[in-house]
C-alpha cells in the first residue's frame, strides 16, 4: 500500500463497524477485507475513504475485488436449480455453443475447449460482466470482456487484459479453477467469480451480498447447466469410430 494518510488507527477497518448509508468491501490480494464508505480508482491506485473518517491509497494491483456491502435481508440462499439433486457437468461439449451469437463466439469456443469448460457458461458470464465490450473498464478497475481485476490478471499471467484473446484465456482459466475447487456446482462457481473464493467458503454457499445474489440469478436465467446424465446421453449418442459412416 502507498501514501498512507489520515488517521492511521482507522486503517484496515473490517466489516462489522457501523455501516454508512452506502459502503463497499475492498478485498485485498492478501485476503484482508476493508470496509470503505467510498472509493475512487485513479489510474493505478484506489483512494479509499473509511467510515469513521480518514482513509488511505492502495495500488490497484493489490486489490482482488470490490463488492457493494449490501446484504439481502433474511437471506436463505439462492433457490436450488430445477434438478436440485442432479450432479452438474460444466465441462466442454461441442453441442453446447456460446449463447448470444457474437463476434467472439469462435474465441469463446476455442478457449472453452482448451480449458474443458462449458462454452455457453463462458458466454453467459461475459454478457453479465461486460456485455461483450472488449475495452470495458468498470468503476472498480475491472477490465475487458471477462472483467479481470489487475491482481487477478497478474495471477493468471494476463499481460494485456483489454486484448480479447488474452482476457478470455485468463477468465476461462479462472472459471476452470473455480469449477474444480467447488466441484462443478454452478451457483458456487458463479458466486466465487463475483465475490471471491474466500467469501463462498466463509458463508458455505452463495454469500448474501445483493450484488452477488443478483449476479448468480441473472446468469442462471440465461444459462442452464448440463447434468452428468445429459452429458452421458450425449456421449452415447455420438457414433463410435467403428460405427461412424465412412
- What backbone phi and psi angles, to 5 degrees, belong to 143? -135, 145
Angle at which helix 119-130 crosses helix 164-181, to 10 degrees, equals 120
Catalytic residue among 109, 129, 187, 230: 129
Q: Are the C-beta atoms of 34 and 28 separated by less than 8 Å? A: yes
Asked whether 156 and 174 are in contact (CB, 8 A), the reply is: yes
Strand spans (E) along the chain: 2-5, 24-28, 33-36, 38-42, 45-49, 55-59, 63-68, 88-89, 226-227
Helical pair 186-195 and 119-130, crossing angle rounded to 10 deg: 30
Question: How would you class 233 by CB atoms within 10 Å of its CB: exposed for 0-12, middle for 13-18, buried for 19 or more?
Answer: exposed
What is the Cα gyration radius of the chain? 20
220 to 37, 94, 214: CA distances (angstroms): 31, 20, 10
Could you confirm whether 197 is annotated as catalytic?
A: no
Would you name the residues annotated as active-site residues?
129
Amino acid at each position: 500500500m502507498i501514501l498512507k494518510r489520515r488517521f492511521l488507527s482507522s486503517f484496515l477497518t473490517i466489516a462489522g463497524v457501523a455501516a454508512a448509508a452506502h459502503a463497499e468491501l475492498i478485498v485485498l490480494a492478501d485476503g484482508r477485507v476493508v470496509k470503505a464508505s467510498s472509493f475512487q480508482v485513479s489510474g493505478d491506485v484506489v483512494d479509499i475513504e473509511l467510515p469513521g473518517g480518514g482513509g488511505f491509497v492502495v495500488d490497484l494491483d493489490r486489490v482482488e475485488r470490490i463488492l457493494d456491502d449490501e446484504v439481502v435481508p433474511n437471506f436463505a440462499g439462492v433457490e436450488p436449480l430445477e434438478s436440485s439433486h442432479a450432479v452438474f457437468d460444466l465441462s466442454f461439449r461441442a453441442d453446447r455453443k456460446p449463447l448470444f451469437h457474437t463476434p467472439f463466439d469462435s474465441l469463446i469456443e476455442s478457449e472453452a475447449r482448451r480449458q474443458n469448460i462449458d462454452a455457453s457458461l463462458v458466454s453467459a458470464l461475459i454478457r453479465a460482466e461486460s456485455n461483450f465490450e472488449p475495452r470495458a473498464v468498470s468503476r472498480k478497475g475491472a477490465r475487458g470482456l471477462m472483467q479481470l481485476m489487475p491482481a487477478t490478471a497478474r495471477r493468471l499471467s494476463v499481460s494485456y487484459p483489454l486484448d480479447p484473446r488474452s482476457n478470455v484465456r485468463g477468465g476461462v482459466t479462472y472459471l476452470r479453477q473455480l469449477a474444480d475447487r467447488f466441484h462443478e456446482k454452478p451457483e458456487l462457481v458463479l458466486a466465487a467469480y463475483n465475490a471471491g473464493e474466500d467469501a463462498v467458503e466463509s458463508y458455505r454457499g452463495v454469500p448474501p451480498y445483493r450484488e452477488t445474489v443478483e449476479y448468480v440469478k441473472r446468469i442462471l436465467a440465461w444459462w442452464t447447466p448440463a447434468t452428468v446424465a445429459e452429458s452421458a446421453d450425449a456421449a452415447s449418442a455420438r457414433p463410435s469410430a467403428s460405427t461412424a459412416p465412412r
